[in-house]
Amino acid sequence: MKYNLYYEIKISFGAKLSKNKNGRIFNLHINNYMIKVVTIILSLLIVGLAVFIVPKFIQVSNTATSETQQKSQTSAETQNPDSLSMQNITQANSPHPQTILFPPISDAINRVTKKPFGIQVSPENSPVSPERFSGYHTGVDFETNPDEQQIDVPIYAVCTGHLIMKKIASGYGGVAVQQCNLDNQTVTIIYGHLRFTSIMAKIGKTILAGDSFAVLGKGFSSETDGERKHLHLGIHKGSDIILLGYVQKQSDLSAWLDALKYLSQ
């Protein structure tokens, strides 16, 4: 008697295993249905790779490229200091209109006790003694307290704009000039009696309103050109740099603005 009997076991997806009586597999039949299912599964796997893995690879690649460009730009700026200033000048030319000013010093309003805007002074008639100037005051003076004479008193930018000048000037000692937009007009802000070496910002750099960018100079020293320790804040209309602390005619004050009218409380 020949043992040629066999039975068939059907498995999922249409695959058919044929076994003889001893349990040995001697044939495997795969029909078209199984081929289609396998094809669909492979297609889904490929789509999954495209949807989830490829975007992550692109993101990592873009991040690496961005970091490389940033390092390259930083290196270029380090090699050419002027490039930073020119870039910031371009950015600063975009107007930052303001209607109020940030206080240039702590407790600003209460410090205006001697020379407000427009006061007329002379060596014979002045709230300050000795007085070496004459004329109408173009700015506002913010005084310091006795306990601040030997410590650094920080000065803050009253507006957002770029630094257009810093120098040692007669009557001021260290002085910084910033260009801003106030009440929809271009103005220059004069910060007088600063310690020149404390003005760390480069010419052309944008200084944000509220940024501490310098400290007051030491009173009665070359840092303040022999003046008491205080801040002179002047606001001149237009983009011209005018450092005058006083004008000789009252009508000339029309080219200047009173900072107290714009200071936030």
pLDDT at 120 over 50: yes
Specify the higher pLDDT residue, 6 or 103: 103
Element (H, E) at 186: strand 185-194
Count of structural domains, the chain: 1
User: What tokens appear for 135 in the block?
Assistant: 């004329």
pLDDT of residue 34: 63
In a domain, 167, yes or no: yes
CA distances from 6 to 21, 26, 29, 49, 241 (A): 6, 10, 15, 44, 106
Residue 142 is part of a domain; what is its CATH number? 2.70.70.10
pLDDT of residue 91: 40
pLDDT of residue 76: 34
Mean pLDDT of 21-49: 62
- Residue 127 CB contacts under 8 Å (≥ 6 apart), including other chains: 114, 115, 119, 121
In whole angstroms, give the CA distance from residue 42 to residue 88.
54
Tens-place pLDDT, residues 88-119: 433 444 446 788 999 999 999 999 999 999 99
In whole angstroms, give the CA distance from residue 187 to residue 201.
19
pLDDT at 27 over 70: no
pLDDT of residue 245: 98
In a domain, 72, yes or no: no
In whole angstroms, give the CA distance from residue 42 to residue 58.
23
pLDDT at 68 over 60: no
Question: What is the crossing angle of helices 54-79 and 81-92, to 10°?
Answer: 110
In a domain, 230, yes or no: yes
The pTM (predicted TM-score) of the whole model is 0.65
Which range marks the domain in which residue 124 is found? 97-261
In a domain, 63, yes or no: no
In a domain, 189, yes or no: yes
Compute how many other C-beta atoms are within 10 angstroms of the C-beta atom of residue 186: 15
3-state DSSP assignment of residue 90: helix
Specify the higher pLDDT residue, 98 or 152: 152
Mean pLDDT of 240-244: 97
In a domain, 255, yes or no: yes
pLDDT of residue 41: 78
In a domain, 45, yes or no: no
Tens-place pLDDT, residues 126-142: 999 999 999 999 999 99
Tens-place pLDDT, residues 195-225: 999 999 999 999 999 999 999 999 999 999 9
DSSP 105-173: STTTGGG-SS--TT-EEBTTB-SSSS----EEE-EEEEE--GGGTTS--EEE-SS-EEEEEEEEETTTE
For the chain, the C-alpha Rg in angstroms (whole number) is 38
In whole angstroms, give the CA distance from residue 263 to residue 254.
19
CA distances from 77 to 14, 72, 244 (A): 68, 9, 35
pLDDT at 255 over 80: yes
In a domain, 164, yes or no: yes
